[in-house]
Structure 1
Amino acid sequence: MLTAAALTKRFDEARGPLESVDLVAPAGEVTLVLGTPGSGKTSLVRCLTGGYRLCGGDVTVAPPDVVEVSLADADPRSVAWLRAHHLACFDGELVAAPTLLVAQAVARLAHTDAPAAQRALRRLGAEPLAALPVGRLRAPQRRTAALAAALLAERDIVVLDDPEQSAPVAALANWLTESAARGAAVIVAAGVESALRPIASAVGQLQEGRITWV
């Protein structure tokens, strides 16, 4: 499970993108947070996964058989350990050496092998990327490769930022449903017209720094 309580994030003294956000994402469910561009979805994803330090409130991560961890207090090594073993995050482009083949880069990030990475890319309609060097990818292709790595890793908690922009919706919905079925807590930040509503157990609207659950 992942829980946020009164989560606040500001980048200056003015009102920030997140003001007292409350969220509960149980294991085995898909939690969907909808928002318009600029509403704070990416900031939310990065706060939930330790990419941003919180300005207020707390995020607690409770993987199976692991003592609950507070991201408000966790040191960088603890956050890195969580991301390596229990928490998958998709919030940007694939980052790897430009000469590394995409299948190898995805495999390293997901801690698996190149054939598994190639199958993951195929699931997302991106198999031709597998044999290309990372340096030849355009930005959208880098995002698709990063999404493949996040899903392939099969972490206990999966947090994704606008994945519908990087994969066919049907393939993505199937993979997210499978992730929840194996017991993962899945959190997706998406646009207000998201086609993932049918697979979500809970849907919230992020607006003016808060989530209203519907």
Structure 2
Amino acid sequence: MTPVTEVSEVVARKLAKRFSPAHQVLDGVDLTAPAGSLTVVLGKSGAGKSTLVRCLTGVYRPEAGTVEYRLGRSSANLTSADPRTVAWLRAHHISSFDEVMVTAPRIPAAVAAARSARRDRAAAVGMFARFGVDDLATVPIGRLRPADRLTVSLMAALTADRPFVVLDEPARFVDPEVLAAWLRRLADRGVAVVVTATPDSVLASTATVVGELSNGRIQWHTR
């Protein structure tokens, strides 16, 4: 990977998201993840972790609040950006794995991951090996189970060389200890990393900042 040299930061302010009048998932969430930090948001099932990640990555548009990505002297307000700008940011600056990647079913998993990450095949194969899932690397993507395809999507997200990494419960798919070490390495290189996890996750032990998401709000703890 090439070092990230530009100053980067993702800032969310007063995020609110509801799916029905009685179901307020996010209620004034604030989050700041600067370059070189590993931000871990803990929460129980149903706390709103996936909703938060989808708001941070432009999949969902919140009813209130803003999500701003700052890179060097440039910035983009994701909540007011048009769909084309959101797609461009997700393709070039934000690494995430919100859903199974769409690709030709005959393409080997490592090739699909490399294309999604905009890296060479060797980089993707190396990531599969690092996480002990190299048995998936040569399997055509269309022959994989849904859970394995999500693992491939995670490998693509971790292979990509982007200034922002925003992941929803990645420890479900790979060894948490190996993941924690890699995310810490990304942060130490200057990447702004945000991940969600369950309350007992080992990821919290390597975090710069830990937040607890409950009742639509985050309580932050600096380590």
Do they fold alike, i.e. is TM over 0.5?
yes
Considering fraction of residues, name the structure with more strand: 2
Range 162-171 or range 30-39, more displaced: 162-171
Alignment of 1:24-103 (within 5 A): 24-63=32-71, 65-103=72-110
Report Cα offsets for 1:161-203 as digits up to 9, x if no partner: 1111111112211210111111110001100111111210110
Report Cα offsets for 1:83-103 as digits up to 9, x if no partner: 111111122333322221101
The alpha carbon displacement at 1:79 in A equals 0.8
Corresponding position: 1:110 with 2:117: yes
Contact 1:156 / 1:185 at 8 angstroms: preserved in 2? yes
Partner Cα separation in structure 1 for residue 34 and residue 90 of structure 2:
18
Corresponding position: 1:11 with 2:19: yes
The alpha carbon displacement at 1:12 in A equals 2.2
Give the CA RMSD over aligned residues.
1.2
The alpha carbon displacement at 1:120 in A equals 1.0
- When the two structures are aligned, how many residues end up with a matched partner? 213
Report Cα offsets for 1:113-146 as digits up to 9, x if no partner: 2222111111111101111011111122112111
Report Cα offsets for 1:44-72 as digits up to 9, x if no partner: 00100111111101011112x35111112
Gaps of 5+ in 1: none
Partner Cα separation in structure 1 for residue 91 and residue 201 of structure 2:
29
TM-score by length of 1: 0.96
Contact 1:154 / 1:179 at 8 angstroms: preserved in 2? no
TM-score by length of 2: 0.92
Gaps of 5+ in 2: 1-8
Change in Cα spacing, 1:66 to 1:85, as seen in structure 2 (3 Å) is farther
